[in-house]
Structure 1
Amino acid sequence: MSSIKKNVAVIGAGISGVTAAAHLRKEGLDATVFERSSAAGGIWLYDSRKPLEPAYPSVLASKAGSSYTKGVGEDLQLEKLLHAPPGPCYIGLKNNVGTRLLETTLNQFPAGTEDFVTHDVLKDYIQDTAAITGVHEITQYETEVKHVSRKGGNWIVETATLHSDEAGRIMQKTSHSEFDAVVVASGHYHAAKVPKTPGLADWKRTWPDRVNHSKGYRTPKEYQGKNFLLIGGSVSATDIARELGPIANNIYQSHRNGNFDIPPTLLPENATRVGEVVSYDAPINGWSKEPLEASDAIPATVTLECGEKLCDIHHVILCTGYHITLPFLPHLHSDATLVSAAGDELLVTDGSQFHNLHKDIFYINDPTLTFVGVPFFTATFTLFEFQAMVVAKVLSGQAKLPGEEAMRAEYDERVRAKGFGKGFHSLKDRESEYVDELLACVNKDLEKLGVKKLDGHSEKWHAAKAEQVIRMRGLFGGTPGPEKRL
């Protein structure tokens, strides 16, 4: 890939998309950002509306983010929810990776910013970064990318922009544009994952307001004095348990001893860690269509793997994660293919990971298709900026990637070493190493050109990282736990 890619589409205006577009512009490339929400900010953009609930259980991964098919113009609010679903941000959400580890080279946090802040501080930082770098001006908001395809050496990006006519009817304006390259920066938190536990769909159908995915959780105010069952042992379940703690009666957190479970010592005093739920049982008195009173518990029990039953549950919140899905790249997505049989072409199979990416960034078969923001368990803002820097250097022709055969060999070795699944993209305990590897790939070419090499993490960052490791060891009993991916 030796020629300069002058015209680049960037999908998404969260921190990944903003840093990608900013560095593309710094290297003299033309970038256009497509963002289906009305503002930049990604998952830190709080929206008091609740997203539409997913199917119970989840549909195929490729369809998980588009399970609703209401026609355009039939319902204004519904169509807006379908076009730009609210993200998972809830009222009390904070970062648990300090701002000193998140500050990019593009912008500084305001003087006096604390390490752990509310979501609006991070949203403001992303939007301010977009403004000062000129990314805001090149972003098409309320514009969803519907389809991306390769044709005649170019990428064809098909979009739909939502607007209202004079009568107030919602309309979609479609458009087709050609680009030399595409940067996918659309994030992971769109397609909610719902387990296939026996009886769960029946509970959802009978008591729809009592069973919800955590993506729709917004505020604890409506839950005073209630009993909760949280499904999942990782960050979201623990965060929500801690927020509900002061107002809830009893909280049960069900887990499966997953690799990324958070120790139960971080739960509030009124929370109990229990085993996996194996069934949501039928009511003793049979199913009833009569709505429950606000104070009524669900009139049925939950059975745990150990045989124990839980009763008097008011609400079930599924903190069960999200499918990785690329609805705009359907030809590179195959639900019917096992992860172990992804081959050399597919990007997504069962929704648990991406396939065939060099360094989690470049699509090996065609590196003009790139990704920023794939890795988990890292200081997201800064890590994604390093990825963006490398993408900009490669697409501007200043740095070259290894040949396809070499990239394929490195990827295959990684598969053998890490296996498949979410952990494939984990950078837990090797974030700095990954960044050093990335920069080494491009700095040798920059040095040959007489261009300033890219610097790695700053001394300030390393000092903050060392403090974080000590803090995490204290919280997790000697072993640093997974850091929040948000």
Structure 2
Amino acid sequence: MELAKLSLVLLSIALCAVAQAQSQNVFEEPQQAWTVFHHPIRRVAVVGAGPSGLQAAAKLIEHNFTVRLFEAAEHPGGIWHYSEETPLREAYPDKPIEHAADIPIKIPATRYYCEGDNGLTLDDRWRQHWRPRPMWDNLHANSPKASTELPDVQYDRDAPWVLSQHAIQRHVRSYASHHCLNSNDRCPAAGPPVVSYSTRVEKVEKDTKEHKWILTLRRLERLRESNRILEEWWTETFDAVVLATGPYVSAHVPDIEGIVDWSKAKEGERYSMCHSQSYRHPERYENKTILLVGASISASEIARDIGPFVHRLLASVRDTPNRPGVRQRSLTRFPAITEFIPEIASFEPLQKHGDGIRKGKIHLVNGSVMQGVDEIILATGFQGYSLYPPNTSGLPLLHFLRSNPCRTTWRPQNLYFTGHWIPDSTIAYTNRRPWTLGRYQSYAFAKVWEGSARLPSPEQIEKQEHGSASRSYWLDMWLAEAVFRRFVSWLNDASLEHGGRFVQPPPIENLELFRYYTVVHLNNTVRLEDLDMPSLLSKQSATEDAWNEMVYEDADW
């Protein structure tokens, strides 16, 4: 027995020695089969303090990187940071999100703003900076508690199966505090501060000579005593960057004839048309006739929230040939009072804009005309993904854009399954579901950049991933069994060869809970036996871009 233990110890020492030597060589070996970094990765920026960004920052700190975490809001949470504040009103028509910020010529720079400067109130300037999240008061998660939990912190045992956004927000803040990443934390560790809240990353660019990433940063601070806002600009340099900003960046307004004219209509001081990003409470719609434009997740859940209050509830639904699981789920979750109408063809010009829209005429694609709508909520999604905005000279930016011309630019094949950008793996995206796969992806970032895991070269990745990347992305939204297995195997193989901690897949009971939850949450539109992996894969092949179908709502408005 003692001899066996001694053998295991000697074997462990030998493996660690081999792993250390191989780890050091990751930055030196000129092998074309592997991605080789120009220099060791020491300093890493993480952009976004939602569930994904917090996990990435915590894991990188654990692996002794110098980390800086940037977040535009005052507090952590990302999309789960609820506020009664609403975003600035969306543009009619869509304004390109890649519109360059007014970056000072000389940086560092400091500016002070007073009420009304450049036509903006202080409140509007503040909201423009941090962009309040599209989260309403009574929102609940569409995944069970077991699949909506971050590592190291737990929900109360008595917490309900279906979590409110308030419970999730507290959970995310608990995780941030546990890792000393919250906005009011004063951690005893020596060195520069990790977190910088109320800070937006306005530009990401690569210094091709030094092989470093330069981030242009803007921080706002409200000076209550003098009723001003202080704006500070500076730059910081990093060896690698994690972009964890999420897809809900800018509201998408559909291109419908006459929508710009109708967007100007008001009843009193309230606009008669708004995007779902500004929805907070149902009481304001009491005894009104409301038209929801959209049939996906936000449309159905807002419909359930306002249903008990409204006089009449209408929902405009596009006629699409495919109805993936998420859309079918959403359609079955509309309240019984909902009247479904066809897609809107046009809005007839209004006589004046001060009396609301009740007398206005809405033309539908089937030729019919309707009137009598008091307010319209556009549940038409957000501008989403693109990796090539113009102000980065072809390099990735933090924003995930959504305009249609940009959609064709983004391809799953541009990213390795770990989230590293294939042309330059010193930048990475948290493109996985944070609650379940985020812990594995964060560990992959740390292992690759510390040298205890290797990425194939771009040429090798192209051969490996050809035809399979989009499938792995789509599975993230469902059971993701294949992705779990791939991550666990890849991480543990790397640890065995180069050193590091081994990981385990999630408990099998979590997967079973999610299976049953999906059936219940889909109102029996999906059977339990349909949730096996071969069935899911066969369904995916029927959709050209299943990932976008699952994530973006505008296909269903």
TM-score, reference length from structure 1: 0.86
For the residue of structure 2 that corresponds to 1:320, the secondary structure is coil
Residue-by-residue CA offset, 1:262-292 (whole Å, 9 max, x unaligned): 3533211211222211111234xxx214344
Cα distance 1:289–1:102, how it changes in 2: closer, same or farther (>3 A)? Answer: closer
Structure 1 position 199, deviation (Å) = 0.9
- State the match for 1:305 in structure 2: 365
Cα distance 1:174–1:325, how it changes in 2: closer, same or farther (>3 A)? Answer: farther
Question: Is 1:358 aligned to 2:416, yes or no?
Answer: yes
Structure 1 position 368, deviation (Å) = 0.8
Which of the numbers 14, 26, 41 marks the counterpart of 2:62?
26
- State the match for 2:196 in structure 1: 140
Structure 1 position 410, deviation (Å) = 4.2
Structure 1 position 384, deviation (Å) = 2.2
Question: Is 1:457 aligned to 2:506, yes or no?
Answer: yes
- State the match for 1:13 in structure 2: 49
Share of identical aligned residues, percent?
Answer: 23
Question: Is 1:391 aligned to 2:440, yes or no?
Answer: no
Which of the numbers 220, 223, 235 marks the counterpart of 1:162?
220
| Contact 2:220/2:231 (<8 A) preserved | yes
Question: Is 1:371 aligned to 2:437, yes or no?
Answer: no
> 302-311 vs 363-372, which deviates more?
302-311
> 449-458 vs 195-204, which deviates more?
449-458
For structure 2, the residue ranges without an aligned partner over 5 or more in a row are 1-35, 103-111, 186-193, 537-548
Distance of 2:384 and 2:133 partners within structure 1: 15
Which of the numbers 278, 282, 288 marks the counterpart of 2:352?
288
For the residue of structure 2 that corresponds to 1:440, the secondary structure is helix
- State the match for 2:328 in structure 1: 262
Cα distance 1:352–1:240, how it changes in 2: closer, same or farther (>3 A)? Answer: farther
Structure 1 position 473, deviation (Å) = 5.3
Could you say which structure has the larger radius of gyration? 2
| Contact 2:295/2:317 (<8 A) preserved | yes
Structure 1 position 431, deviation (Å) = 1.3
- State the match for 1:271 in structure 2: 338
Structure 1 position 412, deviation (Å) = 4.4
For the residue of structure 1 that corresponds to 2:264, the secondary structure is helix
Structure 1 position 117, deviation (Å) = 1.8
Which of the numbers 262, 287, 301 marks the counterpart of 1:203?
262
Distance of 1:261 and 1:16 partners within structure 2: 25
Distance of 2:278 and 2:496 partners within structure 1: 49
Distance of 2:277 and 2:45 partners within structure 1: 28
| Contact 1:36/1:142 (<8 A) preserved | yes
The number of residues matched between the two structures is: 457
Question: Is 1:114 aligned to 2:166, yes or no?
Answer: no
Which of the numbers 295, 300, 310 marks the counterpart of 1:233?
295
Cα distance 1:226–1:53, how it changes in 2: closer, same or farther (>3 A)? Answer: same
Distance of 2:130 and 2:510 partners within structure 1: 35
Structure 1 position 435, deviation (Å) = 2.2
Distance of 1:185 and 1:27 partners within structure 2: 19
- State the match for 2:18 in structure 1: none
Distance of 1:386 and 1:253 partners within structure 2: 40
Cα distance 1:424–1:383, how it changes in 2: closer, same or farther (>3 A)? Answer: closer
Distance of 2:75 and 2:388 partners within structure 1: 21
Letter in 2 for 1:149: E
For the residue of structure 2 that corresponds to 1:350, the secondary structure is helix
> 115-124 vs 448-457, which deviates more?
448-457
Cα distance 1:360–1:277, how it changes in 2: closer, same or farther (>3 A)? Answer: farther
- State the match for 1:103 in structure 2: 149
Letter in 2 for 1:386: Y
Cα distance 1:331–1:42, how it changes in 2: closer, same or farther (>3 A)? Answer: same
Cα distance 1:347–1:271, how it changes in 2: closer, same or farther (>3 A)? Answer: closer
Distance of 1:203 and 1:485 partners within structure 2: 24
Cα distance 1:406–1:331, how it changes in 2: closer, same or farther (>3 A)? Answer: farther
Residue-by-residue CA offset, 1:409-459 (whole Å, 9 max, x unaligned): 3454247x77xxxx9756344512122222323321111134332212223
Cα distance 1:320–1:246, how it changes in 2: closer, same or farther (>3 A)? Answer: same
Question: Is 1:244 aligned to 2:310, yes or no?
Answer: no
> 119-128 vs 297-306, which deviates more?
297-306
| Contact 1:362/1:368 (<8 A) preserved | yes
| Contact 2:48/2:245 (<8 A) preserved | yes
Cα distance 1:273–1:383, how it changes in 2: closer, same or farther (>3 A)? Answer: farther
Cα distance 1:164–1:49, how it changes in 2: closer, same or farther (>3 A)? Answer: closer
Cα distance 1:485–1:193, how it changes in 2: closer, same or farther (>3 A)? Answer: closer
Structure 1 position 32, deviation (Å) = 1.0
Distance of 1:483 and 1:460 partners within structure 2: 25
For the residue of structure 2 that corresponds to 1:94, the secondary structure is coil
Distance of 1:485 and 1:300 partners within structure 2: 29
Cα distance 1:476–1:463, how it changes in 2: closer, same or farther (>3 A)? Answer: same
Distance of 2:132 and 2:458 partners within structure 1: 38
When the two chains are superposed, the root-mean-square deviation of aligned CA atoms in Å is 3.1
> 187-196 vs 303-312, which deviates more?
303-312
Question: Is 1:182 aligned to 2:241, yes or no?
Answer: yes
For the residue of structure 1 that corresponds to 2:435, the secondary structure is helix
Residue-by-residue CA offset, 1:201-260 (whole Å, 9 max, x unaligned): 110023371111100111111110111111111100000001011001111111223644
Cα distance 1:402–1:15, how it changes in 2: closer, same or farther (>3 A)? Answer: same
| Contact 1:10/1:184 (<8 A) preserved | yes
Residue-by-residue CA offset, 1:112-149 (whole Å, 9 max, x unaligned): 22221211111111111011112235211111111111
Distance of 1:465 and 1:241 partners within structure 2: 25
Distance of 1:403 and 1:204 partners within structure 2: 50
Cα distance 1:117–1:430, how it changes in 2: closer, same or farther (>3 A)? Answer: closer
> 440-449 vs 234-243, which deviates more?
440-449
| Contact 1:62/1:327 (<8 A) preserved | no
- State the match for 1:42 in structure 2: 78
What does 1:49-88 align with in structure 2 at a 5 Å threshold? 49-63=85-99, 72-73=113-114, 74=117, 75-88=121-134
Distance of 1:469 and 1:333 partners within structure 2: 43
Cα distance 1:397–1:326, how it changes in 2: closer, same or farther (>3 A)? Answer: same
